[in-house]
Amino acid sequence: MNTMISSPVVANELPSTPHYTRPTFLMCPPKFYDVDYVINPWMAGNLHRPSRDVAFAQWNGLYQHLKTMADIKLLHAREHAPDMVFVAHTAVVNHGIAAISSFAHAQRQPEEKYLREWFKEAGFLLWDTPRETAFEGEGDALFDGEGRMLWAAHGVRTCLHSHRHLADAWHTRLTALHLIDPRFYHLDTCFAPLANGFVMYFPEAFDVESRAKIEAAYPAEKRIIVTEEDATHFACNVINIGQNVVMHQLSHSDLPDRLMDQGFEVTQLALGEFLKGGGAAKSLALRLSDLDVTNGL
């Protein structure tokens, strides 16, 4: 039986749930990573094209870099779960509660039970999502940089009806965003709330109403607009730890300079083997520590 919660909960009322005092992430090595099927447009044409050796070297580069500023927990990779390396889509975590994904595609559903086991073992409270309301973790639901509210997408993978259930896990405010471009099938491919009240995003991935919601929440000087060229190189798929932003390497882009102008330190790493599967830096690490700890607030 999974531990289920049905009332508002705050972490410090739950002494048994983990409370990390350093930025902490979960990663899963690409031991069985491959493009075995096509469930997003980036995978088309890339069937069995990733090199596992290169993928491992790239993943290790990210792991070693993150270890200089965060604690990293490791999840065992499992055979027949080639996308498990993209662990960020398996859950959303805050205040010791893990809202577990209900993957839209059958190919990723086997990952759910491994994550449930890991979170249970680590002492988290599990918030399961009904199978009929697809929800894909941090792929489609991201807290703002302070952890005060959730941005949640629908339109491709995650179903609009999952949003209320998700918000109930923390009794938090949630703003729905509608994704309209199949290339940007997850929110974390086109939208990144950052520390210090910034947001980085590719506006054309959203419908007009959603863009208006983002503009209403963030003043113009806090919005970092990403070009289509950069967005198609997964520039929005970043890991943010306080002032640090970690992303796949971009060529001929002014985005790193624009981020540095706003006080961020940008690290660009080669993650090309993972672009073949439709993900980059953000997809490879799931945040476990609360936002105040992760961003040093």
Q: Compute the least distance from the CB of residue 282 to ligand ARG, in Å.
A: 7
Query: With respect to ligand ARG, which residue has the nearer C-beta, 37 or 296?
Result: 37
Does residue 139 belong to the site contacting ligand ARG (CB under 6 A)? yes
- Which positions ≥6 away from 148 have C-beta within 8 Å? 172, 173
Query: With respect to ligand ARG, which residue has the nearer C-beta, 95 or 233?
Result: 233
Does residue 102 belong to the site contacting ligand ARG (CB under 6 A)? no
Question: For ligand ARG, which stretch binds (CB under 6 A), given 122-130, 224-232, 244-252, 276-284?
Answer: 276-284
CA distance 251 to 163: 36
Place of tokens 């983990």: 18
Task: List the structure tokens of 243.
Answer: 């002032």
**Of these, 25, 58, 101, 108, which contacts ligand ARG (CB under 6 A)?**
108
When CB distances to ligand ARG are compared, the closest residue is: 279
Does residue 158 belong to the site contacting ligand ARG (CB under 6 A)? no
Count Cβ atoms within 10 A of the Cβ of residue 22 and give its class: 0-12 exposed, 13-18 middle, 19 or more buried: exposed
**Of these, 24, 58, 283, 289, which contacts ligand ARG (CB under 6 A)?**
283
CA distance 191 to 206: 10
CA distance 132 to 130: 5
Q: Compute the least distance from the CB of residue 10 to ligand ARG, in Å.
A: 29
Q: Which of residues 207-266 bind ligand ARG (CB under 6 A)?
A: 237
Question: For ligand ARG, which stretch binds (CB under 6 A), given 3-11, 14-22, 202-210, 275-283?
Answer: 275-283
Task: List the structure tokens of 146.
Answer: 């302070």
* Spacing of C-alpha 51 from chain mean position: 23
Q: Compute the least distance from the CB of residue 166 to ligand ARG, in Å.
A: 17
Does residue 101 belong to the site contacting ligand ARG (CB under 6 A)? no
CA distance 22 to 1: 30
Decide: 145 and 194 in contact? Cβ < 8 Å.
Answer: yes
Query: With respect to ligand ARG, which residue has the nearer C-beta, 83 or 128?
Result: 83
Q: Compute the least distance from the CB of residue 19 to ligand ARG, in Å.
A: 27
- Comparing CA positions, the residue from 50, 115, 45, 119 lying closest to residue 81 is 115
Q: Which of residues 14-53 bind ligand ARG (CB under 6 A)?
A: 39-40, 43
- Comparing CA positions, the residue from 247, 256, 233, 244 lying closest to residue 284 is 247
CA distance 289 to 24: 5
Decide: 58 and 269 in contact? Cβ < 8 Å.
Answer: yes
Does residue 276 belong to the site contacting ligand ARG (CB under 6 A)? no
Query: With respect to ligand ARG, which residue has the nearer C-beta, 256 or 278?
Result: 278
Residue numbers of the site for ligand ARG (CB under 6 A)? 39-40, 43, 83, 86, 89, 108, 139, 186, 188-189, 237, 277-279, 283
